[in-house]
Amino acid sequence: MKKINTILLAAVGFWFAAATAQAATVSFLGSQLGGAAWRTASDVKTFQINGSNVYGSQGYALLGGGKGYLASLPAAVTITRLTSISYDGADGYLNIDDPIEAGTVRSGVWINFNTVADTYDDFLSLDFQDAANYTVGVFTNNTDFAAVSPATLRIAQTSGVGSADSGIVSNTPSTTGAWFFFNVAGVAGDKFTVSGAKAAGFPFNGIAAISLDAPIAVVAGVPEPATWGLMIAGFGLVGAVARRRRLMIVAA
């Protein structure tokens, strides 16, 4: 009897682990125009839920004029630059909240050079070191010329189990700033690439910053086919053990 109970518990644990395994997810949440005051209470933070009224409460990365790369990231994720050019910014680029000290910093840009319209350029990758779920903000439209900013954005999984994809998100390039927010959830080994297609009439294509916050929406994952197989196998094992136990009781 004790042996049967042990087998039954092991089967249930096996099924539970499989049932709770979630594939990586990416979904587009919405956008907020303006947003230069991303680290102070000057602007209402539509996509922030912890009451701090700050974007990047769990992490951020950006280029700041004269300061270079500014970043503070959680242990669960690293950021890898995938662009051909990094530019601190120039006169006419937006002054945004400096996350390191009081005041503002001229925003820079991670930029690609591409002369082909509707071709996606990769800006950065989010490399997950552990299971995590974030609201990821992408800041753009911050330069001195509107067409430097992408006409569309996208976050898609490029490594790990699954193929999560936000789909194509349209942007109207301008010089007034805009945040685009995505829910991104993954586990260790998952990589998500932030990319965009250039605006017509200009060969540059870039973004200014990434912010990480608590998720404002939980996207329900659908078990992968392999997971369904594990669940069914687990149910079958539980059923077989239960039938064997009933036969033993009847025989007794």
| Amino acid 110: pLDDT | 95
Confidence of residue 210 (pLDDT cuts 50, 70, 90): very high
| Amino acid 186: pLDDT | 97
Confidence of residue 202 (pLDDT cuts 50, 70, 90): confident
What is the edge-to-edge ordering of all strands in the sheet holding 85-87?
85-87, 109-113, 204-207
Q: Evaluate if residue 201 carries a pLDDT over 80.
A: no
What span, in angstroms and rounded, lies between the C-alpha atoms of 238 and 160?
Answer: 31
Q: Evaluate if residue 40 carries a pLDDT over 90.
A: yes
| Amino acid 33: pLDDT | 95
* pTM greater than 0.85: no
| Amino acid 116: pLDDT | 72
Confidence of residue 16 (pLDDT cuts 50, 70, 90): very low
Contact 11, 234 (CB under 8 A): yes
Whole-angstrom CA distances from 244 to 4, 15, 75, 92 are 9, 19, 48, 77
- Work out the mean pLDDT of the chain and round it to a whole number: 82
Which residue has better confidence, 110 or 230? 110
pLDDT per residue as tens digits for the range 64-123: 988 999 999 999 999 999 998 999 998 999 999 999 999 999 999 999 887 676 678 899
Residue 213: strand, helix, or coil? strand
What span, in angstroms and rounded, lies between the C-alpha atoms of 252 and 247?
Answer: 9
